[in-house]
Amino acid sequence: IHALWWALDAGLVLNGADRQELKRANEVLLTARVALHITTRRAGDVLRLEDQDAVARMIGFDDADKLMAEIAAAGRSVAWIADEAWARLDPPANANEPSRRLAPGVELVRGEVHLDETANPATDPTLVLRVATAAARLNARIDRESLNRLGEETPVWPDPWPAGASDDFVALMLEGQRAIPVLESLDQRDLITKVLPEWAPNRSKPQRNAYHRYTVDRHLWQTVANAAGLAATVSRPDLLMFGAWFHDIGKGYPGDHTEVGVKMFASIGPRMGLSADDVATVQALIEHHLLLADTATRRDLSDDATITFVATTLKSSLTLELLRALTESDSKATGVSAWSDWKAGLVAELTERVHHVLGGGNVHDVTWKLFPDAEVLEMMAEGRFASCTTENSIIVVSPDRPGTFSKVAGVMALHGLDVLGAEAHSDEMGMAASEFRVQPPATHAIEWGRVIESVERALRNELALEARLVERARDYGPSRAKTAIPPAPPSVRFDDTASSNSTLLEVRAPDKIGLLHNIAKTIADMGLDIRHARVQTLTNEVVDTFYVRSATGGKLTGPVHRAEVERALLFAVSK
């Protein structure tokens, strides 16, 4: 803002509307800054997640979501006005090239897309998308006069859309990353809501947690851009684009955003001219946009019940193909911790197995285990302690004793290693294997020799693990980023349908030092055998999934025992 004021003093020209918007945005940001200083009693310009509620109350907002939406909108306005201003001061390299016609009524003039006098947005509502697509394709701006004309003259789109309009929409989305600045310009002139009125509540809507990088609208645009890069991998790129744009459209409305989005698209799809089958496919993408990621990271992919569940849910290979691409696009648009090589591999493996079943194959043909692999099975066959490491993972093989998995997990915490994922397996010969993927320290390599030494001592009961973990938690405290919205209360869920021979036990709880150790130790103390485990850390919350059997080798079906296990686990995660 200050840079723009200085540029104005130096001769930059801003129109009256931009000046007014800049003043309004400045007032929003300045008010929040003053309230931040008063509530925190310290100087600073960073409105942290944990301070947002107090600042919102001081300013007079009902909740911090409204405050952060105002701040996000103000920031967007400032950024856009600044980009427009700097572009005028530094014209594009092709500004001196002769004008050329791009389409009827549309030209490239001085390196910018321009509407000539023959263009009539009032009678040609889809002109806005054709202009936007041309700008994105050429990586050019829409000149300000033309953008203002589009904003003032373009009518609200009719129901149904004009013929070919959905194709124009897809063409813009397929421009990928180049489309994002153009979409921002359209949104600054309220043009997207003329095309899709349902868009309005998602504009600048914050996602107040450390997991999401963007506001809802920007997240959806980034998902679309990512999906455009995967368009060649699917047979229906148009449906992938629609799934990317609409998968979180319900977040701007009350209720479960997935259910709301599915219901909304029941009217949006026909308005766009989609067939009933295509509407149903996009609705399936919206409804199940988290299915592959959640299943791949929390379920045992070697269990036929897992593969059958996903195949039965999705029903078609087309939906599966589109959902795989949407899963990657959505995850990458969420944040740095939402997608990794490990997660990508699991999703690809799950997709391949489900595709086999949907193609008519036998589920038992695709239920081989990812862990342990042949090398680990050889280590287990030797019947003694063994380990191997990579830069960010460790595999431990040892005789299977109650609490083995929990002890290894405890050693990871003791050495300050954040567990991002874990696998566990035990065989009928009395051996156990576990693999832990951890976050390497930013400043140095992991000293695996010291870690392995501690693991061996813990398994020999020669390490005061409980006492040391308490001391570490006291000295170092929480290691995860805070969120403005507190994690949900701890919960325990049992599922006997997720596996043919084990009970799925899912524990959700706020993350803290030694949490996985506490959970696994409690499971062992309650007489349960962990046959398989999946661990997922989501910033400040963990979702740990265990496939367990009772002491008799069967599922955990007794209601009294279940109730006691739940009680013990809730106590363990609250300590």
pLDDT one-digit tens code per residue, 183-214: 999 999 999 999 999 999 999 999 987 778 99
470 pLDDT tier (thresholds 50, 70, 90): very high
Smallest CA-to-CA distance from 542 within 554, 534, 530 is with 534
Smallest CA-to-CA distance from 397 within 437, 368, 424, 428 is with 424
Q: What share of the chain is helix, strand, coil (3-state, %, to 5)?
A: 55, 15, 35
Tell me the pairing of strands 418-426 and 529-538. antiparallel
What does pLDDT average to over the chain?
93
Is 165:129 a contact under the CB 8 Å cutoff? yes
Cα distances from 246 to residues 143, 190, 269, in angstroms, run 29, 18, 10
- The share of the chain scoring above pLDDT 90, in percent, equals 80
Tell me the pairing of strands 431-439 and 503-510. unpaired
Q: End-to-end distance of the chain based on CA atoms, in angstroms? A: 48
Q: Which two tokens stand for residue 12?
A: 């930059």
- List of E strands, 350-473: 386-389, 393-399, 418-426, 431-439
Q: What is the pLDDT of residue 539?
A: 67
Q: Which two tokens stand for residue 562?
A: 């279940």
Smallest CA-to-CA distance from 354 within 400, 402, 301 is with 301
Cα distances from 98 to residues 111, 132, 169, 178, in angstroms, run 9, 21, 29, 23
Is 338:219 a contact under the CB 8 Å cutoff? no
Judged against a pLDDT cut of 70, whether residue 451 lies above it is answered with yes
Distance CA 570, CA 522 (A): 10
Cα distances from 307 to residues 72, 412, 534, in angstroms, run 42, 31, 16
Is 418:380 a contact under the CB 8 Å cutoff? no
| Contacting residues for 488 by C-beta, under 8 A, at least 6 apart | 508, 541
Q: Which amino acid is at 524?
A: A
Q: Which two tokens stand for residue 23?
A: 């003043």
Q: What is the pLDDT of residue 502?
A: 93
List, in sequence order, the alpha helices (H) in 299-403.
304-314, 317-334, 341-358, 374-381
Judged against a pLDDT cut of 60, whether residue 426 lies above it is answered with yes
Q: What is the pLDDT of residue 109?
A: 95
Q: Count CA atoms closer than 13 A to 536's CA, side-chain side.
A: 23
Region of poorest pLDDT, from 112-126, 452-466, 467-481, 491-505? 467-481
Choose from 86-95, 275-284, 431-440 the range with maximum mean pLDDT.
Answer: 275-284
Region of poorest pLDDT, from 299-303, 339-343, 483-487? 483-487
Give the three-class secondary structure for 526: coil
Q: Which two tokens stand for residue 399?
A: 């005789």
Cα distances from 356 to residues 54, 72, 323, 384, 441, in angstroms, run 53, 45, 16, 37, 40
Distance CA 62, CA 56 (A): 7
Does the CA dihedral 127-232-246-316 come out positive or negative?
positive
As a whole number, mean pLDDT of residues 244-249 equals 99
Is 130:100 a contact under the CB 8 Å cutoff? no
As a whole number, mean pLDDT of residues 535-559 equals 88
Give pTM, 2 decimals: 0.88
Cα distances from 555 to residues 320, 520, 562, 566, in angstroms, run 31, 17, 11, 15
Can you give the length of the chain in residues? Answer: 575
Is 296:211 a contact under the CB 8 Å cutoff? no
Q: What is the pLDDT of residue 482?
A: 52
Is 84:15 a contact under the CB 8 Å cutoff? no
Q: Which amino acid is at 368?
A: W
The DSSP output letter for 512 is -
